[in-house]
Amino acid sequence: MTTTITIGAFQLPYDLKEDFHDYKAYIQNLSLDGLDLLVCPPDTIRYFQGFENYLLYHQELAVNSSCFVAPGFFLKGQYHTAILISSQGEIIHEQQQTHLSRKELNQGLQRGTSLEVTATPIGRIGLMIGTDSFYPVIGRILGLQKVDIVIAYYKQPAPYNPWLQLSGVWQQVQHNQFFAVESATNGTFNGIEFAGETMIHHPLCNDYGDGCVQKLKPGMDGLIKGTLDVNSRKQTIQEFPIYKYLNHALYEKEWGSNENTKGF
């Protein structure tokens, strides 16, 4: 794993037309040089005619930008699903949303039943989709698998509620001491207006203040970049080793021993 990780995440403008050419032109105007990971907003699949075109474009984007690309989440069957694409254009991770709102359940969506992380040259990466961010067990399961970076997608109707958003990914980061990039839906989708901040998170320490490395306000469009210091995170964990205080005997009793969870 490298000592620094440069992450980029962008928000789309409210008035972007629902057309592939507009989406492509918008991304071409972003400065993607030097990124290790690019995170796109949720529902970018709406700009494409079918999954094949959506996937091909983002695979080419990953190869041309020489970085990992997380192209938002999409509906696959009855599951909200997100993927991670390597800098070689390969799908290396796929995750389903595991917790659903009452509205999503009424729409007939299904819950995923597993949470995994994948090892990459920039660290172990996991995905957190929509409502998942409000369930502490999600961050804990990912943390027990020694996740380094969590890619999270925030999608909540307007008006914007900053305290609701901070109760999700920001709190998960501080409870489990991983890095996270949180991409938010903004604008109108299927007749509903959404609002949220796109943020890059770091576990709390003196160098990073409130833990928000970069953020983009609701309704704004553009790209934020954040360089995360791996050694700073390690120092934070050493000074306040949260996982040393867990009830390991209980975890092993309920889920069994796992090589990934040893050494906390």
Is the pLDDT score of 207 beyond 70?
no
Would you list the domain boundaries of the chain?
Answer: 4-261
Give yes or no for a contact between 195 and 159, defined as CB atoms under 8 angstroms apart: yes
| Alpha helices for the chain (secondary structure H) | 20-28, 51-65, 102-106, 136-144, 162-165, 171-176, 230-239, 248-255
In whole angstroms, what is the distance from residue 82 CA to residue 31 CA?
Answer: 24
Q: Looking at the whole model, is its pTM more than 0.85?
A: yes
Q: Which fold has domain 4-261?
A: Nitrilase/N-carbamoyl-D-aminoacid amidohydrolase (3.60.110)
One-letter amino acid at 249 equals A
| pLDDT tens, position by position, 125-166 | 999 999 999 999 999 999 999 999 999 999 999 999 999 999
| pLDDT tens, position by position, 212-236 | 889 999 989 999 999 999 998 998 8
